[in-house]
Amino acid sequence: MIYISPASGRCIGVERTRPVHIGRQALYDASGQVAAYELLFRDGPHVHHATVRDSAATSRVIVEAFTAFGIEELVGDKTCFVNLTREFLVGELPLPFPPGRVGLELTAGIEVDDEVVAAAAALTGQGHRLAIDGFDGDPATARLLPHVHYVKIDMLAGDRHRIARLVKQCRRAPRIRLIAQRIETPELLELAIRHRFELFQGHALSRPHLVTTHALNPTRVARVRLLAELAAEDVDLDRAVATIERDPALAVRILRGVNAAANGLKQPVSSIFQAVVLVGIPQVRQWATLMVVADLADGDESVLTGAVVRARMCQTVAQRRGAGAGPAAFTVGLLSAIADLLGATAGGLTDQLPLTAEVVDAVHGRGELGEVLRDVRQYQGTTTDVADPVSDLSGDLLAALRWTNASLGEPEPANR
């Protein structure tokens, strides 16, 4: 739905953002330096422990870490660990990152059977690094030891003799690095050092730190529509890109996904279309699938129409003036609107995205596309005046409103 100011006739965007929270707890090496971080689900700013540990929580952590924050902002060049439920382990839900950057921590509640052992072996064979959380010597869980790189031992779950037995059992697998978890006292830290644990984690060293940013509320309808587009055997790339462009939150996440270090892609892009081509349909499908799961708890059906209108208006003005490529102009308008919605600076947003110099300059108001953006912003923010140098944009606004209304109101794609 489009909202129009009765006084000015201008489009008023629905400026809604949501806080995004992730718990981050450091893991230290024997020299006391931070060696890695564990990323933890948090559903509120004052929550100190995970209230749920299901697949939705895992999805939220992965999506927010790689797209709302940016993995470098959270952990720098360190390894990060995320909890993994059975659904992710056996492939029922996708892992939207390649091997190497993320340690996959198998939660203690996973029932270890033949399928889980085979899945762990397959992931390790692909180059992923797996960790067992809270290993207690259970024979079923011990079947995973040949296929993992890390084992966490709970320093509070038994006396020092039990700890010694668990350490001895794990040392039979030579590549395993031991993580002492729940180190709550100096005495437990001393015990872990004596047993030559490689990594150390617990409140005696540092407590989980809550990291918060603000992201655009997701549009669940767009995610479902995109999944329908991507599920077809012959994917219509133009339709898929159009669906992404109509969802500002998803668009910026796709751009950040291109820039994620895990993807290994460094080529700057100037449009959503180019980003999708670079990432590839399978990767976009994985991100969209994961976002649907992550959005179940707080999906917002309202569409951020103001951002889409500005993006489309920049595109039509640029094309009419011959000021640059239409897709690049759309991206410029979209990013400027997202920065406004998040209360962020243009530089703070573009620094996190793999954009061409033309797009970066335009978002900062430079170049021909920058002039287009300035005119569109001025027109949207002022009353119409015949003496206004950008008053000729009324036709472009109406065209953008018609396009947005038609695009956001189109029916769900038919089953193919």
Domain map (residue ranges) of the chain: 1-16+217-416, 20-212
Give me the long-range contacts of 135-143 (CB less than 8 A, separation at least 24): 135/166, 135/170, 136/166, 137/165, 137/166, 137/169, 138/112, 140/111, 140/112, 140/113, 141/112, 142/169, 143/112, 143/117
User: What is the gyration radius of the CA atoms in the chain, in angstroms?
Assistant: 24
Written out in words, the top-level CATH class of the domain with range 20-212 is alpha beta
In this prediction, residue 403 carries a pLDDT of 73
**Could you tell me which residues are beta bridge partners of residue 3?**
12
In this prediction, residue 383 carries a pLDDT of 42
Q: Which regions of 159-208 does DSSP assign to beta strands (E)?
A: 177-181, 199-200
Fold for 1-16+217-416, please state it: Hypothetical protein af1432 (1.10.3210)
Q: Check: CB of residue 150 under 8 Å from CB of residue 130.
A: yes
In this prediction, residue 3 carries a pLDDT of 34
What is the chain's pLDDT, residue by residue, as a tens digit (416 residues)?
A: 333 333 333 443 333 455 667 888 999 998 888 899 998 876 654 444 444 445 677 777 776 776 666 677 678 788 899 988 888 888 877 787 778 778 999 987 789 999 999 999 999 999 999 999 999 999 999 999 999 999 999 999 888 999 999 999 999 998 999 999 999 999 999 999 999 999 999 998 988 877 766 565 555 556 656 665 665 557 788 888 887 887 777 787 777 766 653 455 556 778 888 888 887 877 776 666 566 555 544 444 333 567 778 888 998 999 888 876 677 888 788 778 777 766 666 666 677 666 778 888 998 889 999 999 999 988 877 544 444 545 578 888 888 877 766 554 443 333 32
In this prediction, residue 145 carries a pLDDT of 96
